[in-house]
Amino acid sequence: MPYNLVIQELQLTVGTETLRRALARRGYHRCKALRKPPLSDHTRALRLTWALEHVNWTREQWNKVLWTDETWVTSIYHRRIYVTRRAGEEFDDTCTRERISRTPGWMFWGSFYGNQKGLCLFWEKEWKTINNERYTERIVPLIDGMVTMARNTNIYLIVMQDGAPSHRNLLTIEELAWDISY
């Protein structure tokens, strides 16, 4: 909520700059609210377990991970939401906003490993939604090509995908003949 609305709502007799300075003295500052997907307690526990298993990895180990993911890209105006918070509170539920699903746009898939930009792809509208068969037909060959090219230079990549249904589908896993981490 902007400072002028806080003043109005609380019926304060100060200006916005006075309120800003008073909050700053107490450690509160205006920051852009981070966006995050809603997470269940189960998903939080799985992510924490994974992070603890990998906390001591070296830079060399991390550089061998081929990171891949999709994101939804829109051409509409993006409104920033600001919150007033203290340092260290950026991931507090009161300082974040959940992602809202699917405004008109395009699906974009991309990849990278180490300091190497990998292949990317805009998902064409005529391909329809991403499902197991379409993911295996369009994306898996790109992943396979990157892994093969890296292997030809003696770099053995670990493919990292999230738990999307098309990623963990048996057809996808069979097409990718190496170990896949989730």
The structural domains of the chain, with segments of one domain joined by +, span: 57-77+102-181
Determine the pLDDT at residue 161.
86
In this prediction, residues 127-145 reach a mean pLDDT of 89
- What is d(CA 101, CA 93) in angstroms, rounded to the nearest whole number? 18
Band (pLDDT 50/70/90 cuts) for residue 181 is very low
Look up the CATH superfamily of 57-77+102-181: Ribonuclease H-like superfamily/Ribonuclease H (3.30.420.10)
Please give the single-letter amino acid code of residue 98: E
User: Tens digit of pLDDT for each residue in 38-54?
Assistant: 788 998 899 899 999 99
- What is d(CA 100, CA 148) in angstroms, rounded to the nearest whole number? 37
pLDDT at 71 exceeding the cut of 60: yes
**More confident position, 79 or 13:** 13
- What is d(CA 92, CA 78) in angstroms, rounded to the nearest whole number? 22
pLDDT at 132 exceeding the cut of 70: yes
In the sheet where 116-123 sits, what is the strand order? 116-123, 105-113, 65-74, 158-160, 180-181
pLDDT at 101 exceeding the cut of 70: no
pLDDT at 182 exceeding the cut of 60: no
Longest dimension (CA), the chain: 70
Instruction: Encode 143-164: b = buried (16+ Cβ within 10 Å), e = exposed.
Output: beebbeebeeeeeebbbbbeee
**More confident position, 43 or 75:** 43
Q: Which of 126, 139, 148, 124 is nearest to 172 (CA)?
A: 139
Determine the pLDDT at residue 61.
95
The answer to whether 109 touches 140, Cβ cutoff 8 Å, is no
Is residue 113 within a helix (H) or strand (E), and if so which, with residue range?
strand 105-113
Q: Which of 155, 153, 72, 67 is nearest to 108 (CA)?
A: 72
